[in-house]
């Protein structure tokens, strides 16, 4: 090619690049220029000379960068077809560019350095070591030319390690060749890096004070930084011996660099990686040198200097790194001490603890939280937990926690030194709040561990702090609460202190009771504190809530002094009716909405009473009459308590009545307790209302049009009567039980005998009462379901048109939107009568199903044998499902169907469970299929629609609900069908978890996932069997990764295995297999799903291919399948006499076969493939007979060295 041609083309390219990068260019010009450049890179035969010409120093940086990009493109995509001489020409020119083709180290643009190093690495990946044995020598020679070249060599070495070891972006054999050669040469590489670091740092230190030498000093500093960055890329994976060679010379250098401001962050990064290394304990022993005097001094003085210079981002980042280094050091110490490595507690352990404590008391909340895990490990450690130095730090740690538990440091505020640091770490107050809540929980864990070592100190501190808070004047701060004048908001200084103190005392007191012997507990001190708390009066709801928590925390002391129980009860009962408004105004303001803070206090008091009755029933039993009278008095005034509060108190009574241990007495009590409910629930009016949707709408007032939607609510009382009945039934069903000990149950008249399976049968004293109310409950559920019929929705009044919609809170929870912080406490619970109506319908619906879900475990055989139960449930709970929205169907499956199925004894499978689940699964399959079809069509139609940009758009909410419902359905199927043995892990834990929850990459289903008795029973019924199988396999291609992974690993194979012995139709078998392949098409981009689906496809093919040749036909349709490879796989599979290949190799072969249908992430779908050829093997000796072939392969290159030194 003539020089003119090259020059001419280069001129055009320069123009094109200028147009692309000029902000003033029109889009059309820019696209044309881009197209010209891309076509040039793809097709032009003279790319190399043009690229080299454009990369000359005389061109502008943008043009040079483009020239180098052309060369990179040539190496990546054309290398395999280039003649040898052209490769050598290109390689020599690129090395020439490093030697003399760039500006000096301080002037050259970083993107030019980056692309230049990339070109060299791409050549190394293709030719080293076999065809370019002297590569490292060449780099070494280049580095001797000066700082500019040394820095580029560092970039090359770092990029190489990243591509080969960290990101592994090349074929296995090439990766192995390069990594092994790197490892063999590691001593040289490390020596090169250390020498460069040492020489450049010492030159930099010598010259940095001399202004005349400033540029030279800066150049040396740059090389030092590059050397540290490169070391960071190697320290992570090289043999530990390189890091600890020469008496840990590298670690010593890094420690000394911590006090060099320009290099300290890089040094800390390297130290952190080194100290965090895992591996054999014996190899990690030398790391203990960091507890030595020199290292400790360097770390501490660097921390003090960085902290002393105020909040500067660079110093703060460095402090975070240092903190991580100390944490990792602590972890290494915990791992080595007490193992077989005879490591002693370091002499500087005390100094280490002091410095670590300094980070725990630093103003930055982030730094404080970073230390917690290590404190936990130290306090838990079998050797260190007895060390006097650590024991001496426990009180200091607890004292620090007292400060750290105080919730200050919101980035938007300026009321604490922490705020300034929070502005670096958190984007918003919500962000900080979420962080702080998890930090506090973590602190609670660690404080409890610390208190195990020294329980009394913690208790004394809690006592002092509690006494202080009880006497301190209330400071509401600048913001007044909306609850009332002069009351705290959640940001008030007083509340923040109370809140922290309460958390502290709760943590340490509970731990003291767990740790200390009964006789050593400081009962008198505890009772004194309890009395102070009981005598403390406050009208502030937030503070009162804290007071109640302290009463609960100190309650265990009452077990030593039962005479204090009546005082505790009085305190709690007084709080159940807490109001901010004075009594005189109360009558007028019945409708004035209570704020969340007031409601929380009342709810808190109720739950404290329930908790007390649940955990200390024997203690409360003697005071039962007093408790009962209190409750009767409160219930006598219909307006005093909300329905939930009334029922909470009744639940407490039921819990104590379980201690009667006398069936007749308890039954009589429950009858008396439920009499008002039964009277109301069974009245003719209520029966009419509950069984007729129109009457129901009218009774609860949902057909009205209301003028003042905040104050006016004429039917509120009617609603509360229905709620009261439902809450009470639920409370009784949930809490009434027979004695746990069989002997006591027999003595009390609860025991009925044994089921055929040997399970004991008990009778519940509440059964008779509850079953009496059961018909009307089913009528209510049927009516509630019918409210969703279009003609009923049309009857809702104007004010209540949206009464059956979701509450905003539910929507936000599903969309993952945070609640504004202040609103939670300061706003009324329901702002308008519409919200009250929505809350009523939502809670009523959930509670009805909670009753049905609890009925089985509670009433057992008495419930399962109710006449025609399956039919009754089908005609009520499963009535009108077509119109029921997803957000109502989900809780029904979770709180009713699942518990019912799980608690049902096998004797009732045929009569109850199968008749119910058959129609349900058939319906759910139909419903989900339709929903997903709509979603898939929508995503095809509106790829570019703007609806998705709005996170709250209705579509997005609906789609997320379909996902959650799908998970619920698949979870139900799994729970019904698959035995718990292998599925224990995460059936419900993350039902509402995020989609991006971390997925394991190697998933093989538990080998012992067998069908349960119920599963077998369901699979015998053809309609159920078909519905469950089809749902499971169809769901694999629905766009929900979490559901797909769970269904694949837990459900699909056990179900299919069950029907294998029967005669499956060939079409069905092909359909199952195709469904899995479709799943791979949709979810193949996610490693977790891909591994699970490949395994499932492999299982199906291996098990069924011998009987069904149709599976091979399906395989043949996979895009890009290699038919000869398929024949080979098939012949091995079908010939039982052949030696079986190892499972992993068969699976890998199968995965290669089906790779054409494994979906790729969108970022990889249109990427041009890079092909790197394997070079002749480094490590296997070639047989002599093949020598001639080997020498002639690859264009006759063979073992000839490609790049002469």
pTM over 0.75: yes
Q: What is residue 1179's DSSP assignment?
A: S
Residues of the chain with pLDDT under 50: 583-591, 946-948, 982-1004, 1181-1200, 1205
CB neighbours of residue 648 within 10 Å: 23
Tell me: the pLDDT tens digits for 70-110?
999 999 999 999 999 999 999 999 999 999 999 999 999 99
Of the candidates 1041, 998, 1030, which has an alpha carbon nearest to the alpha carbon of residue 1159? 1041
Of the candidates 171, 237, 387, 203, which has an alpha carbon nearest to the alpha carbon of residue 1171? 171
Q: What is the pLDDT of residue 635?
A: 86
Q: How far apart are CA 542 and CA 600, in angstroms?
A: 8
- Sole residue written with tokens 């483009």: 66
Tell me: the pLDDT tens digits for 578-591?
988 654 333 333 44
- Sole residue written with tokens 């995020």: 994
CB of 626 closer than 8 Å to CB of 668: no
Q: What is residue 897's DSSP assignment?
A: I
Beta bridge partners of 1011: 978
Helix (H, G, I), strand (E, B) or coil at 1202: coil
Q: Which residues touch 325 (CB under 8 Å, ≥6 apart)?
A: 268, 271, 272, 275, 299
Q: Which helix (H) or strand (E) holds 752?
A: strand 751-754
Q: How far apart are CA 329 and CA 337, in angstroms?
A: 12
Tell me: the pLDDT tens digits for 1121-1178?
999 999 999 988 888 777 667 788 889 999 999 999 998 888 887 888 888 999 888 7
Alpha-helical runs (H) found in 454-561:
455-471, 493-515, 523-535, 541-554
Q: How far apart are CA 389 and CA 348, in angstroms?
A: 10
Residues in the chain: 1205
Q: What is the pLDDT of residue 1180?
A: 57
Q: How far apart are CA 917 and CA 976, in angstroms?
A: 9
Q: How far apart are CA 530 and CA 545, in angstroms?
A: 15
Q: What is the pLDDT of residue 1186?
A: 39
Q: How far apart are CA 763 and CA 984, in angstroms?
A: 31
Q: What tokens appear for 570 in the block?
A: 């009085």
Q: How far apart are CA 966 and CA 971, in angstroms?
A: 8
CA angle 398, 402, 406 (to 5 degrees): 150
CB of 186 closer than 8 Å to CB of 165: no
CB of 258 closer than 8 Å to CB of 264: yes
Of the candidates 325, 429, 448, which has an alpha carbon nearest to the alpha carbon of residue 380? 448
Q: What tokens appear for 938 in the block?
A: 């929508």
- Sole residue written with tokens 């803070």: 597
CB neighbours of residue 1069 within 10 Å: 21
DSSP per-residue codes, 1141-1176 = PPHHHHHHHHHHHGGGGS---HHHHTPPPP--PPPS
Q: What is the pLDDT of residue 767?
A: 96
CB of 67 closer than 8 Å to CB of 53: yes
Q: How far apart are CA 98 and CA 757, in angstroms?
A: 82
C-alpha separations of 288 from 79, 193, 291 in Å: 48, 23, 6
C-alpha separations of 916 from 258, 972, 1016 in Å: 70, 13, 16
Burial annotation 233-260 (CB, 10 A radius, 16+ → b, else e):
bbbeebebebbbbeebebbbbbbbbbbb
Q: Which residues touch 853 (CB under 8 Å, ≥6 apart)?
A: 895, 896, 897, 898, 899, 900
Residue 264: alpha-carbon gap to chain centroid: 33
Q: What is the pLDDT of residue 992?
A: 42
Q: What is the pLDDT of residue 927?
A: 95
CB of 803 closer than 8 Å to CB of 696: no
Beta bridge partners of 754: 760
CA angle 39, 41, 43 (to 5 degrees): 60
Under the phi-then-psi rule, with left for phi > 0, alpha for psi from -120 to 50, and beta for the rest, what region is 753?
left
| Torsion angle, alpha carbons of 650, 651, 657, 658, to 10 | 170
Q: How far apart are CA 557 and CA 552, in angstroms?
A: 10
> How many alpha carbons lie under 13 Å from residue 423 in its C-beta half-sphere?
10
Q: What is residue 754's DSSP assignment?
A: E
Q: What tokens appear for 1114 in the block?
A: 């399906």
CB of 702 closer than 8 Å to CB of 619: no
Residue 866 phi, psi dihedral angles, 5° rounding: -55, 135
CB of 579 closer than 8 Å to CB of 598: yes
Residue 486 phi, psi dihedral angles, 5° rounding: 75, 15
Q: What is the pLDDT of residue 1188?
A: 39
Q: How far apart are CA 39 and CA 53, in angstroms?
A: 18
Q: How far apart are CA 197 and CA 909, in angstroms?
A: 75
Beta bridge partners of 790: none
Q: What is residue 760's DSSP assignment?
A: E
Of the candidates 443, 582, 454, 460, which has an alpha carbon nearest to the alpha carbon of residue 503? 443
Tell me: the pLDDT tens digits for 698-712?
999 888 776 665 666
Mean pLDDT score of the chain, rounded to an integer? 89
Beta bridge partners of 548: none
CB of 627 closer than 8 Å to CB of 670: no
Of the candidates 624, 626, 622, 621, which has an alpha carbon nearest to the alpha carbon of residue 659? 621
Q: What tokens appear for 760 in the block?
A: 């004991």
CB neighbours of residue 1183 within 10 Å: 8
Q: Which residues touch 234 (CB under 8 Å, ≥6 apart)?
A: 157, 161, 186, 189, 190, 193
Q: How far apart are CA 482 and CA 823, in angstroms?
A: 10
Residue 775: alpha-carbon gap to chain centroid: 43
């Amino acid at each position: 090619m003539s020089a003119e041609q090259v020059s001419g083309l280069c001129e055009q390219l320069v123009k094109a690049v200028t147009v692309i990068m000029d902000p003033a260019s029109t889009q059309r010009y820019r696209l044309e220029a881009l197209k010209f450049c891309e076509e040039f890179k793809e097709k032009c035969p003279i790319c190399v000379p043009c690229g080299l010409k454009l990369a000359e120093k005389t061109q502008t940086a943008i043009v040079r960068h483009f020239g180098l990009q052309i060369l990179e493109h040539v190496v990546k995509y054309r290398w395999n077809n280039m003649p040898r001489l052209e490769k050598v020409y290109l390689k020599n020119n690129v090395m020439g560019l490093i030697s003399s083709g760039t500006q000096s180290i301080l002037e050259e643009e970083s993107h030019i350095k980056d692309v230049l190093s990339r070109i060299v690495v791409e050549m190394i990946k293709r030719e080293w070591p076999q065809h370019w044995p002297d590569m490292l020598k060449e780099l070494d020679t280049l580095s001797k030319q000066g700082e500019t070249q040394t820095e580029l060599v560092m970039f090359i070495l770092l990029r190489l390690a990243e591509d080969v070891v960290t990101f592994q972006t090349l074929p296995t054999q090439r990766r192995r060749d390069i990594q092994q050669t790197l490892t063999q040469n590691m001593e040289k590489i490390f020596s090169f890096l250390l020498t460069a670091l040492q020489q450049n740092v010492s030159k930099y230190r010598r010259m940095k004070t001399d202004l005349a030498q400033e540029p030279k000093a800066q150049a040396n500093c740059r090389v030092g930084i590059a050397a540290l960055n490169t070391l960071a890329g190697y320290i992570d994976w090289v043999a530990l011996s390189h890091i600890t060679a020469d008496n840990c010379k590298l670690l010593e250098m890094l420690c000394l660099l911590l006090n060099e401001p320009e290099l300290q962050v890089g040094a800390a990064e390297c130290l952190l990686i080194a100290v965090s290394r895992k591996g054999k304990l014996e190899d990690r022993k030398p790391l203990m040198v960091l507890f030595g005097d020199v290292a400790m001094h360097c770390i501490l003085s660097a921390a003090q200097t960085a902290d002393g210079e105020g909040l500067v981002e660079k110093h703060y980042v460095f402090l975070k790194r240092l903190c991580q280094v100390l944490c990792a050091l602590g972890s290494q110490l915990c791992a080595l001490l007490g193992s077989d490595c005879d490591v002693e507690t370091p002499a500087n352990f005390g100094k280490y603890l002091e410095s670590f404590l300094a980070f725990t008391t630093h103003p930055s909340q982030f730094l404080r939280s970073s230390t917690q895990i290590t404190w936990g490990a130290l306090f838990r450690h079998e050797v260190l937990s007895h060390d006097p130095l650590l024991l001496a730090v426990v009180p200091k740690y607890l004292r620090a926690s007292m400060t750290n538990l105080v919730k200050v440091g919101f980035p938007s505020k300026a009321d604490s030194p922490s705020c300034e640091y929070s502005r670096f770490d958190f984007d918003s107050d919500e962000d900080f709040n979420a962080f702080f809540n998890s930090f506090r929980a973590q602190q609670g864990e660690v404080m409890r561990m610390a208190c195990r070592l020294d329980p009394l100190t913690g208790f004394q501190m809690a006592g002092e702090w509690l006494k202080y808070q009880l006497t301190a004047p209330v400071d509401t701060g600048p913001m007044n609460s909306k609850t009332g004048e002069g009351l705290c908001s959640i940001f008030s200084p007083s509340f923040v202190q109370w809140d922290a103190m309460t958390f502290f005392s709760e943590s340490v007191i509970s731990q003291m009771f767990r740790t200390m012997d009964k006789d050593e507990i400081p009962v008198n001190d505890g009772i004194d504190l309890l009395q102070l708390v009981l005598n403390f009066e406050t009208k502030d709801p937030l503070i009162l809530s804290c007071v109640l928590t302290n009463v609960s925390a100190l309650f265990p002391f009452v077990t030593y002094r039962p005479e204090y129980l009546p005082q505790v009860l009085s305190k709690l009962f007084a709080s159940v009716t807490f109001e901010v408004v004075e009594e005189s105004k109360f009558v007028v303001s019945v409708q004035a909405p209570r704020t969340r803070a007031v409601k929380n206090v009342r709810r808190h008091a109720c739950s404290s009473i329930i908790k007390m009755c649940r955990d200390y029933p024997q203690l409360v039993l003697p005071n039962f009459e007093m408790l009962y009278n209190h409750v009767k008095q409160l219930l006598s005034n219909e307006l005093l308590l909300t329905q939930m509060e009334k029922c909470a108190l009744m639940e407490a009574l039921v819990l104590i009545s379980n201690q009667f241990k006398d069936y007749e007495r308890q039954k009589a009590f429950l009858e008396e307790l439920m009499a008002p409910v039964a009277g109301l629930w069974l009245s003719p009016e209520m029966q009419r209302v509950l069984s007729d949707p129109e009457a129901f709408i009218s009774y609860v007032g949902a057909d009205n049009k209301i003028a003042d939607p905040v104050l006016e609510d004429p039917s509120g009382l009617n609603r509360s009567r229905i709620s009261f009945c439902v809450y009470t039934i639920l409370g009784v069903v949930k809490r009434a039980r027979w004695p746990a000990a069989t002997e006591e149950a027999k003595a009390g008249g609860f025991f009925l005998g044994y089921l055929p399976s040997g399970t004991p049968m008990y009778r519940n004293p509440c059964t008779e009462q509850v079953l009496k109310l059961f018909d009307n409950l089913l009528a209510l559920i049927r009516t509630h379901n019918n409210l969703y019929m279009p003609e009923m929705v049309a009857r809702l009044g104007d004010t209540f048109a949206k009464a059956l919609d979701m509450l905003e809170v539910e929507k936000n929870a599903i969309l993952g939107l945070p609640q504004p912080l202040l609103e939670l406490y300061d706003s009324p619970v329901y702002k308008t009568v519409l919200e009250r109506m929505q809350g009523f319908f939502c809670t009523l619906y959930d509670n009805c199903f909670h009753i049905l879900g609890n009925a089985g475990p509670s009433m057992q055989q008495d419930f399962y044998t109710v006449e025609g139960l399956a039919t009754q449930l089908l005609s009520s709970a499963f009535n009108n499902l077509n119109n029921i929205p997803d957000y109502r169907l989900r809780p029904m499956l979770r709180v009713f169907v699942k518990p019912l199925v799980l608690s049902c004894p096998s004797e009732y499978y045929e009569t109850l469970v199968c008749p119910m689940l058959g129609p349900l699964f058939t319906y759910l399959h139909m419903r989900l299929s339709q929903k997903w079809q709509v979603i898939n069509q929508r995503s095809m139609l509106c790829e570019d629609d703007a609806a998705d940009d709005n996170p709250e758009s209705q579509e997005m909410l609906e789609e997320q609900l379909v996902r959650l419902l799908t998970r619920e359905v698949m979870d139900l199927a799994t729970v019904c069908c698959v035995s718990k043995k292998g599925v224990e892990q995460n059936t419900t834990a993350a039902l509402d978890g995020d989609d991006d929850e971390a997925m394991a990459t190697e998933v093989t289903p538990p080998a012992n996932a067998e069908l349960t008795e119920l599963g077998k029973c369901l699979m015998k019924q053809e309609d159920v069997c078909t519905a469950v199988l089809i749902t499971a396999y169809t769901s694999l291609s629905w766009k929900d990764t979490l559901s797909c992974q769970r269904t694949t690993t837990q459900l699909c194979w056990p179900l299919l295995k069950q029907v294998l012995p029967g005669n499956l139709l060939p079409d069905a078998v092909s359909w199952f297999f195709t469904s899995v392949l479709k799943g791979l098409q949709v979810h193949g981009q996610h490693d977790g799903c891909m591994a699970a689906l490949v395994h499932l496809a492999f299982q199906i093919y291996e098990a069924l291919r011998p009987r069904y040749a149709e599976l091979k036909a399906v395989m043949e349709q996979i895009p890009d399948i290699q038919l000869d490879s398929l024949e080979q796989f098939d012949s091995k599979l079908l010939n039982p006499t052949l030696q079986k290949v190892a499972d992993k190799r068969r699976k890998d072969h199968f995965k290669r076969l089906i790779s054409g249908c494994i979906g790729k992430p969108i970022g990889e779908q249109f990427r041009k493939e890079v092909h790197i050829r394997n070079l002749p093997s480094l490590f296997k000796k070639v047989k002599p007979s093949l020598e001639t072939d080997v020498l002639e392969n690859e264009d006759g290159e063979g073992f000839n060295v490609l790049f002469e030194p």
